Amino acid sequence: MYYILNFLKWLRKVWIYKICKRQTHGVRIILCNDDKVFLVKHPYDHFWVLPGGGIETYETPEDAARRELIEETPYRATGPLIKLGTYHNTTGGKNDIVHVYVVSSFEEHTQKRQLVDAMEIQRFEWCSKNSLPQVSVATQARIHELIKNEYTNTQRPWIPTK
């Protein structure tokens, strides 16, 4: 199963970024509970990441963030989503625009996860902001920006430059 998911991920990247050369738009959510953040682990990655996904053509970024939160976690936002920032991801030939939202007001939901979402998320858990498991560089950067209260309306690179 791991190899099939990796192959499908690679095939999707080739199709979107190499053949179609299109820009994608997505969201990530930082779900906060005191000093903890909620992270997910995909079966095809070796690190933990923020929940999120693509923006559908009919959605605003905030609507997509609310939907992705329900699809990838057992929680739903009950209050406002605060935008941490907008990012441009060019790693690995990508051309993604990613909107990151912070959610601190939420409740558990009982909506059943769709099969695709259940297969895509291997594990999820609450992690201390100051003692993270192995996370992606971008996830670590977003959590660091949150801790330092670095909200912005200016587009930033997905992977911070030194």
| Dist. CA 162–CA 156, nearest whole Å | 13
Q: What is the mean pLDDT of the chain?
A: 87
User: Is 96 exposed, middle or buried, given 0-12, 13-18 or 19+ CB atoms closer than 10 A?
Assistant: middle
For the whole model, what pTM was predicted?
0.84
Confidence at 161, pLDDT banded by 50, 70, 90: confident
Q: Give the percent of the chain with pLDDT over 70.
A: 82
* The predicted structure's pLDDT at residue 115: 45
| Dist. CA 1–CA 69, nearest whole Å | 25
Express each pLDDT in 108-130 by its tens digit: 987 765 544 556 788 899 999 99
Residue 40 lies in domain: 23-157
* The predicted structure's pLDDT at residue 22: 72
The answer to the question of residue 134 being in a domain is yes
The answer to the question of residue 162 being in a domain is no
Three-state secondary structure call for residue 89:
strand
Residue 133's domain is classified under what CATH number?
A: 3.90.79.10
The answer to the question of residue 18 being in a domain is no
The total of structural domains in the chain comes to 1
* The predicted structure's pLDDT at residue 45: 84
Express each pLDDT in 38-86 by its tens digit: 999 988 888 999 999 999 999 999 999 999 999 889 999 999 999 999 9
